[in-house]
Amino acid sequence: MDRVASKNRKSSVALLLNCVTQWLKDNLGIIIALVVLCLILSLNPITKNTFLTVKNIFNVLRQISTNLFLACGMTMVIILGGIDLSVGSIIALSGCLAAGAVVRYNLPLGVALLVGVLFGLVFGVFNGFVISKTTIPPFIVTLATMNIAKGLAYVYTGGSPVRVVTKEWQFIGAGYIGSVPTPVIILIVVLIVTALIMNKSKMGRYIYAVGGNAQAAVFSGIKVSKVKFFVYAYSGVMAGLAGIVLASRMYSGQPTAGEGAEMDAIAAVVVGGTSMSGGYGKIGGTLIGGLIIGVLNNGLNLLNVNSFWQYVIKGAVILLAVFIDYIRQENKDKVKIEKNRFSN
């Protein structure tokens, strides 16, 4: 019995170490890319005094938090073999509704925030319902809800921002807990929750199963529509959360907020190594993907690069990161296949 107990203790430490080394190994390519990016910025004479400061690092993390909220939901959606284009517009709608709840109806802050997240959930549930009950492609369904959410945001606000000036309002997006920005704390919680769902729960396995082979999942007795429903609902909640955090950071709900945010989220997921054809991917990779995009944005700003050119550079870097990963995987697969073809 003693041996078993000590083995258990040892194995839990070993397991954690295992997880970390596995994470490093899985994401080696993009981690190197991230480190190189950071090195360039901390050695460059223009940015070396500004980049590697606590203030700037927290600033970067605060900025990427919205993208990573979306990316957490998007990782699940893409592993499931789907796509969710509606999240950017949900940001705008939920931000505006939350701000409106405070300004127009004098509702308490907690209720307002709940309203924001709830509308994210409503849209996610709607996406999930249509996608799981029909065979309409997720691309089309979420393209439609993207327009609906955006339109509703404009209708509600009449096209102009809903300003909120209270101090409490800013706490969520622009405030601090201790010396750490609030969104960063929320982000850590969201990342942990998402990682637990994906790696530890039955639902997580089902997501990989449905994404890997939907028909096999049916034969396995997995309730495929339930899994789809959950994933899109989760993505909607993440978008709602991103919406209130962003609105808080900008002191207002804006109908133009979150435009193109769905694409940044997809970029983070894909740079993080998740397969667009579904069935494969890790939330740890998405974290790195989001960091790369965030650091890149920050660095280009610090370097005073023309904002038009920033798009060009960002696009090139995304392609490069995915390309490096592609080559690495290709080589790994080749070696593995040739080794295994005859061993069994």
Q: Which residues in this chain contact other proteins in the complex, by CB under 8 A?
A: 8, 11, 15, 196-197, 199-202, 205, 208-209, 212-213, 215-216, 218-223, 279-280, 335-344
Contact 37, 296 (CB under 8 A): yes
Q: Any idea what the Cα angle at residue 85 is, between residues 81 and 91, rounded to 5°? A: 130
Nearer to other proteins, 112 or 224 (CB): 224
Work out how close the CB of 124 gets to other proteins at its nearest, in angstroms, rounded to a whole number: 21
Contact 96, 253 (CB under 8 A): yes
Work out how close the CB of 146 gets to other proteins at its nearest, in angstroms, rounded to a whole number: 29
Work out how close the CB of 215 gets to other proteins at its nearest, in angstroms, rounded to a whole number: 5
Nearer to other proteins, 310 or 329 (CB): 329
Cα gap 113→291, rounded to integer Å: 26
Nearer to other proteins, 4 or 54 (CB): 4
Work out how close the CB of 211 gets to other proteins at its nearest, in angstroms, rounded to a whole number: 9
Contact 30, 273 (CB under 8 A): yes
User: Quick one: CA torsion of 278, 258, 158, 251, rounded to 10 degrees?
Assistant: 140
What is the DSSP secondary-structure string of 9-26? HHHHHHHHHHHHHHHHHH
* Number of neighbours of residue 123 by Cβ within 10 angstroms: 30
Nearer to other proteins, 55 or 341 (CB): 341
Nearer to other proteins, 208 or 232 (CB): 208
Work out how close the CB of 10 gets to other proteins at its nearest, in angstroms, rounded to a whole number: 12
What is the DSSP secondary-structure string of 151-211? HHHHHHHTTS-EE---HHHHHHHH-EETTEEHHHHHHHHHHHHHHHHHHHSHHHHHHHHHH
Cα gap 30→9, rounded to integer Å: 32
Work out how close the CB of 325 gets to other proteins at its nearest, in angstroms, rounded to a whole number: 15
Nearer to other proteins, 178 or 221 (CB): 221
The CA R_g of the chain, rounded to the nearest whole Å, is 21
